[in-house]
Amino acid sequence: MDKRIELIPTTSHSSDGFTPQGEAPASGPLVDTFGRIADDLRISVTDRCNFRCTYCMPAEGLPWLPREDILTFEEITRLAGVFEGLGVKEIKLTGGEPTIRREFPKLVAMARTAHPDLAISMTTNGFLLDRLAQPLADAGLDRVTVSCDSLMRHRFAEMTRRDALEKVFEGLRAAEAAGLTPIKLNCVVIAGTNEDEVVDFARFSRRTGYEVRFIEYMPLDAEQHWERAKVVPSAEILETIDKVFPLIAQGEGVEPATTFRFADGARGAVGVIASVTEPFCDTCNRLRITAEGQLRACLFAMNETDLRTPLRAGAADRELEDLIRSSVWAKWEGHKINHPDFQRPGRSMSMIGG
Ligand code: SAM
């Protein structure tokens, strides 16, 4: 069977083999049986993307979800409110590529008006930010994270299959001008592809003030080309940068990105997301909702909770809350990337919402 077809989202959920003891608490924060509290929610607003990053999606794209399967703006806004009531403090809008969802600023405005205290940010490839940064800021977006894997035009084009680096730079400038700050840059580092640029990215961070976060390549690419040998350990990245620009750790938090400042006081910062070599499952506070309304408690989860069906069937907030509480309660201890029995989830990154 074509590998790509196996990745089409399915509503039949395989089990991850974890059975939680007892019942989820009926009040208080969203807690699981390991005592972790989930208060950071990523909501994917579309599974489509205008880039074709080699480590994420095939050149020809994926079979897109039918429009009617995707959560409406009203549904997303309502869910954001339900999660806020459960203690979520920040939502990050993602995809696919969030900016290609039609009238995307309208969604941000709806969510902002309905939930004035919620932090709302976005992860984007930056391609459309040159014209959308200001409308999004006006709509109430707080800040952006922009993905950028190379500072070299030809390599950027190779990795994203789009000759768009200059446009992304324009987008970054527009985001800054619109006050969508502090800006973070996500860079997936792949051995033999772009690991020779980590010091250049650190230099770029010092010049611009953006925090550059290096992400380890994860087995979530639709084409299943991932192999362990292509992962550049975060520890190596930090060591390489530290030799040129000494770094100071910012201390441990629940944030998966371990952040470092420059010892000489330069602006900018460097972060690492070491999901493969140093999994941070024991402090993971993240939840994700896919574009069609499936709640995932882990990037690598083998099961999901369908929120769209009850939403569309007229469920009351209390019913949605109970469903969410039970789903978080059933979160497994951690993903098994480093176990011999690791199985990739049935979705690739763009279908989950990174
Ligand atoms: N289109 C938006 C963007 O480019 O940021 C949001 C969605 S994208 C799936 C979110 C993040 O996931 C990006 O920073 C991307 O680089 C990262 N990503 C995608 N596939 C990945 C993989 N196999 N391993 C690690 N990170 C990956």
pTM recorded for the entire structure:
0.94
Structure tokens at 70: 């995707």
CA-226 nearest atom, ligand 1: 23
Per DSSP, 128 falls in state T
Task: Report the nearest-CA residue for atom 17 of ligand 1.
Answer: 354
pLDDT digits (tens, 9 = 90+) for 153-167: 999 999 999 999 999
Strands 305-306 and 184-189 come out as unpaired
Confidence at 130, pLDDT banded by 50, 70, 90: very high
Centre of ligand 1 to C-alpha 49, Å, is 11
Give the list of residues 6+ apart from residue 275 with CB closer than 8 angstroms, or none.
215, 216, 218, 256, 299, 335, 337
Residue to substitute in 122, 188, 237, 286 for testing ligand 1 pocket (most ligand atoms within 8 angstroms of CB): 188
pLDDT digits (tens, 9 = 90+) for 234-293: 999 999 999 999 999 987 655 555 899 999 999 999 999 999 999 989 999 999 999 999
Can you tell me the distance from the alpha carbon of 56 to that of 54, in angstroms, rounded to the nearest whole number? 5
Has residue 1 got a pLDDT over 90?
A: no
Task: Enumerate residues lining ligand 1, CB below 6 A.
Answer: 49, 55-56, 94-95, 97, 123-125, 147, 186, 188, 215, 217-218, 220-221, 349-350, 354
Sign of CA dihedral 265, 119, 215, 38: positive
